[in-house]
A and B are shown apart, each in its own frame.
Chain A
């Protein structure tokens, strides 16, 4: 469904991604892990069109994304739940979800998706009239995911949903993401630091380090590979 081929990106004069190739099949759950500063968020921003690539291609459902304006991409069925949540703080919880449903598909299925979001995250129904800026970090994360779902996307991209959250809250979030994948059949591309939590739910994983894909494979393979830890903690042997 999503094909990224030989993608290179320079960001503010810095080289952020080099020759990255990655693919996500329909209904797959793919995880991208890697240490801070590896370029994971840059990859997401490039897919969403906020950052232009230097070279390479990105296609979604067989169609090249590079000619598409950033705002059109959501309407194709790509939902991006950004790093740091980025909810609309001055809008209410309900209005945030409505904005999530801005794409055509989201509007068409609004009542069902809203029910579904409220089932997954009941707190969002309770807080419907509250300003999003007054929510706690975990609630904002739930809102950000709910807002992504509201567009009835085909592909849900989640950027570090556990960032800055207490472990128990993070666990809930991960559980919900699995549920969305299993029960709603949404294709998931997840970027995470918490390697094990992320990988154990996914079908396929990639490890990104300083802009390169250094490892990829099925989750059992990656989880068993101590190179992941070495990459995170800087223990990779020098060439």
Chain B
């Protein structure tokens, strides 16, 4: 009987780890893309996640513009539509604020502009968090879908041990993997993607090739924001959230990016998956309040012991 419960718990942690982990992975790619291409640590990434959730919420909730899409499809289409919306928001943020303290203009300045760039994104984060409170109120909301209370049951696999697959999470998982694959193909095989990678690799040489590096950075920042926002929209189908929700996930994003090796865009995806697993399995042995602390401990250990990340060789640009 003990074995039965154990097996059931482990299998459920495993499936939840995979589904949630891949959604985290998508979320981490956003931050990883921004860091990998521009070497910007974006403190406001959690708030962009939050904006993604609210964008989806305001698009598809009952009585809103796209509520005609229904409760089954609507929330997931909303999540996907949050991407382009937050892409534009991110590109504007970059154009008017972030680009002034980062990029080519800070090369060679004292500390290469770390100070300015970290502090400015911290400022953006404060504005979005608190501005969000003014705009959206602080009562938690959720994008309702009946799927979040339905599950596929697999099993019993061993005596009574059964695996529960939450349908909302499962659909979110598929959308997340699809979005990650599309992004991967874009970066790997399109002209735009290659130009972004070239601008990341060597901005000066990229300029010699005729690539507009400022524009590439703007697109990359927008993409990073949009990707995280899609993940936010997906998460909105199974959690409730308020303007301060970004805070709970920002460390997960940093952990994922660091685990994946800072600078490696798809390393960040696997980093996010790993965090999902750590979180789900730590739930088996640790009280709920300590789950986040466990992520921090893993994060600190990785940073201190293996700064190049679990999945990367040294990614720091010379």
Contact = CB atoms under 8 A, between A and B. Distances in A.
Interface stretch (B111-119, B138-146, B198-206): B198-206
B96 interface: no
B208 A74 contact: yes
B209 interface: yes
Interface in A69-119: 69-75, 79-80, 82, 86-91, 95, 98-100, 102-103
A137 to B, nearest CB: 15
A80 B204 CA distance: 11
B204 A71 contact: no
B159 interface: no
Interface residues of B, number: 19
Interface in B187-202: 191, 194-195, 197-198, 200-202
B201 A80 contact: no
B86 interface: no
Contacts of B209: 74, 99-100, 102-103, 147, 151
B93 interface: no
Given A90-B197, A91-B198, A99-B198, A50 B204 contact: yes
A39 B63 CA distance: 67
A8 interface: no
B150 interface: no
Given A95-B194, A99-B195, A99-B198, A88 B205 contact: yes
Given A82-B204, A86-B202, A86-B205, A74 B210 contact: yes
Given A88-B197, A91-B197, A91-B198, A99 B211 contact: yes
Nearest to B210: A74
A71 B197 contact: no
B197 A102 contact: no
B205 A48 contact: no
A12 B107 CA distance: 12
A210 to B, nearest CB: 23
B112 to A, nearest CB: 15
A91 B194 CA distance: 8
Interface residues of A, number: 28
A88 B198 contact: yes
B195 A50 contact: no
Contacts of B195: 99, 102
Contacts of A95: 194, 197-198
A90 B191 CA distance: 16
A88 B202 contact: yes
B316 interface: no
Nearest to A76: B210
Contact of A99 (B108, B204, B206, B212): B206
Contact of A80 (B194, B197, B198, B208): B208
Contacts of B197: 88, 90-91, 95
Contact of A86 (B191, B204, B210, B212): B204
Contacts of B213: 71
B82 to A, nearest CB: 30
B207 interface: yes
22 contacts: A49-B207, A50-B204, A50-B207, A71-B210, A74-B209, A75-B210, A79-B208, A86-B205, A88-B201, A88-B205, A88-B206, A89-B201, A89-B202, A90-B201, A91-B198, A95-B197, A99-B194, A99-B211, A100-B209, A102-B210, A103-B209, A147-B209
Interface of B: 108, 191, 194-195, 197-198, 200-202, 204-213
Interface of A: 12, 48-50, 69-75, 79-80, 82, 86-91, 95, 98-100, 102-103, 147, 151
Query: Top 4 nearest A-B pairs by Cβ distance?
Result: A74-B210, A86-B205, A71-B212, A88-B201
Given A12-B108, A82-B204, A89-B202, 5 more contacts: A71-B213, A74-B208, A88-B198, A102-B195, A102-B209
